[in-house]
Amino acid sequence: MISQKINRSAVQIDAEVISNKKVGPYHHMVFAVGQVAAACKPGNFVAISVGGSQSALILRRAFAIYRALDKGPMGGSIELVVAAHGEGSKWLCARNVGDFVDLVGPLGTAFGVPTTNANTMLIGGGYGSAPLFALAELLKNRGCRVDMVLGASTANKIYAPLEGKRSVSSLTLTTDDGSAGIHGQISEAIPRLIREYKTEVIYSCGPMGMLSAIAKIAEEFDISHQCSVEEAMACGIGVCMTCVVPIKHEDGIKMVRTCIDGPVMDGSEIIWDRKSVMDAL
C-alpha cells in the first residue's frame, strides 16, 4: 500500500506565513506549523498547494525544509528557501505575512547520521543546498567533522555562505564563472578536498547532473554517499508517479518514487545513466 510508505509523521495543515524576506535571488520564508516542526528532520520536504482556490495550478509543489524549530514565539515553525522560477513558486513567494497556505509535511526520507565521529562533506548546488545547513548543525552536535562545499553558476546564487561558515569546520565556494571561490564546476574541486579532509561520508543536494558527478567520485574513493534527489514531485505522496528514478535491483532495474523512497537516497544505488536504462528496457 502506498500509504504505508508515506512519512508517518505527515499531516495536512493550514500554515501561517510569519516571515517572507528576499535574500539575493531567493525568498527565505517562515511558516508557523505547530507540532509538525518537532517531526521534521534534515532531508524532509513539504508539499504546498499553490495558486489559490480559483487557480488552474491544481498540483502541489514540493519544497525542501531549510530548518525546523520546535519552539518559538508562535510555537513550532519551518523555514524554506524558495526560488521564484515557475508559476507555483512565484505565487508562494508573493504570500504576505499573515496569509495561510495548505501544507502537507514532513514528507520523504531524512539524511542518515553516522554512529561514530566521522569526517563528513556536505556538497550543495545553488538553493538546492538549503537542507544541508540543518544537517551540518546536527552532525556538528554529534561530534563529526563537517566540511561544506557550496557551488553555483555565479556568486549571488550561492545561498547563505556566511551561515554555512558558522556551522562547519571548513567552507569552500565554487562558481562556474569564477565570481567567488574556486573557478569551475563544483565536482572539479571535490577529489582534492576529499584527500585533504580525509572524508568518510558525503552528503549532497543539488541538480541531478551534479549529483551524478558526485556519485561517480564517491564510487572512485569508495565513500558512502547520501544524496537528496531533485526530481519533479507533483503530489509528494507516491500517487502521481512523476518523480520516479531507476535504481539497481537484484532483478535488474527497479523504478522507485523519490517522494516516498527518497528524496534522500544512496547515491551508489541510483542508475544515473538514463540511456542505459532505456537500452535495458
Over residues 120-144, the pLDDT tens digits come to 999 999 877 888 999 999 999 999 9
Domain boundary among 82, 107, 132: 107
Residues 103 and 22 in one domain: yes
Q: Which residue has the higher pLDDT, 160 or 155?
A: 155
Say what the pLDDT of residue 234 is.
Answer: 74
Residue 3 has pLDDT above 50, yes or no: no
One domain for residues 101 and 123: no
Cβ atoms of residues 181 and 157 within 8 Å: no
Would 114 be classed as within a structural domain?
A: no
Backbone angles phi and psi of 219, in degrees to 5: -65, -40
What mean pLDDT, rounded, does the chain reach? 89
Residue 156: which pLDDT band, with cuts at 50, 70 and 90? Answer: confident
Q: Based on the domain organization, do 144 and 265 belong to the same domain?
A: yes
Range of weakest confidence among 75-79, 111-115, 145-149, 231-235: 231-235
User: Is 93 marked within a binding site?
Assistant: no
- Give tens-digit pLDDT for 226-247: 999 977 777 777 887 888 999 9
Quick one: 99 and 128 in the same domain?
no
Q: What is the mean pLDDT of residues 78-94?
A: 92
Q: What is the pTM (predicted TM-score) of this model?
A: 0.90
More confident residue, 15 or 130: 15
Does any domain span residue 51? yes
Same domain, yes or no: 142 and 231 = yes
State whether 51 and 182 are in the same domain: no
pLDDT beyond 60 at 276? no
- CATH code for position 14: 2.40.30.10
| 87, 128: one domain | no
φ, ψ for residue 168, nearest 5 deg: -130, 170
Give the span between the Cα atoms of 244 and 259, in whole angstroms: 8
The pLDDT-based confidence of 215 (bands split at 50, 70, 90) is very high
| pLDDT for the residue numbered 197 | 97
Q: Is residue 220 part of a domain?
A: yes
Q: Percent of the chain at pLDDT above 90?
A: 65
Tell me the pLDDT band of 2, cut-offs 50, 70 and 90: very low
The stretch 196-223 carries a mean pLDDT of: 96
Give the domain extent around 125.
119-280
Distance CA 10, CA 87 (A): 25
Please tell me whether 205 is known to bind a ligand. no
Which of 55, 83, 107 is at the close of a domain? 107
Same domain, 128 and 193: yes
Please indicate, yes or no, whether residues 43 and 165 belong to a single structural domain of this protein: no
Q: Which residue has cell 510569519?
A: 18
In a domain, 232, yes or no: yes
Residue at 64 is within a domain: yes
- Residues 73, 76, 82: CA angle, nearest 5 degrees: 105
253's grid cell:
532495474
**Residue 175 within a domain:** yes
Residue that is written with C-alpha cell 565536482 in the block: 187
Dmax (CA) for the chain in angstroms is 56
Question: Are residues 77 and 215 part of one domain?
Answer: no
Pair (193, 260) in one structural domain? yes
Which of 78, 107, 136 is the endpoint of a domain? 107
